[in-house]
Copies of this chain bind each other. A is one copy, B any other.
């Protein structure tokens, strides 16, 4: 098995952090998105949508979509559990992971895509729309701060995939200047410092 990866993009990092938490030994192959290598025919034969990461199985099949790749590894390496254990627990982790995706990671990615010069040539940007997405994410970050006043991690008392999604969202937003954690959001800051200290954060 190997994973087609790109160090400079948020989605591949979700899988790298997840696999670092699992202590899974996987070979990574870099595909340079900035150089357009994910749009070359050779890569499109692996994932016709051009997205990264992609997991290549030894039988020559290809699995795309970050959370699908995480789910596969959760199945074959159940420890430590990052996607819940019982059906109810797994469902609540999925709810929180989706909320982090739909309310934070997604809007912040959209804000970046519609505002950053590096995407200007590649798509039609609507900067004002990007601003509404940034504002939406900022409101949700305040909400997340209030939740983290009551519990240690995003989905409750245990570190899960929902923390990884939120962590990667906050990190790429800070890196590209899309959003900073508000000064007064001290619970969110406490959580962000805690997840950033885990060895997996280096992935």
Contacts and interface: CB of A to CB of B under 8 A. Distances in A.
Contact of A67 (B48, B65, B98, B129): B98
Interface string A44-85: 000011000000010000011101110110111000000000
Given A126-B126, A129-B126, A143-B48, A87 B95 contact: no
Contact of A64 (B63, B86, B95): B95
A124 interface: yes
Given A49-B99, A64-B95, 15 more contacts: A63-B92, A64-B99, A65-B99, A67-B98, A71-B87, A71-B94, A74-B87, A75-B88, A75-B90, A75-B91, A76-B87, A124-B132, A126-B126, A126-B129, A129-B129
Oligomeric state, in number of copies?
2
A111 to B, nearest CB: 13
A159 to B, nearest CB: 18
Interface of A: 48-49, 57, 63-65, 67-69, 71-72, 74-76, 86-88, 90-92, 94-95, 98-99, 103, 124, 126, 128-129, 132, 143
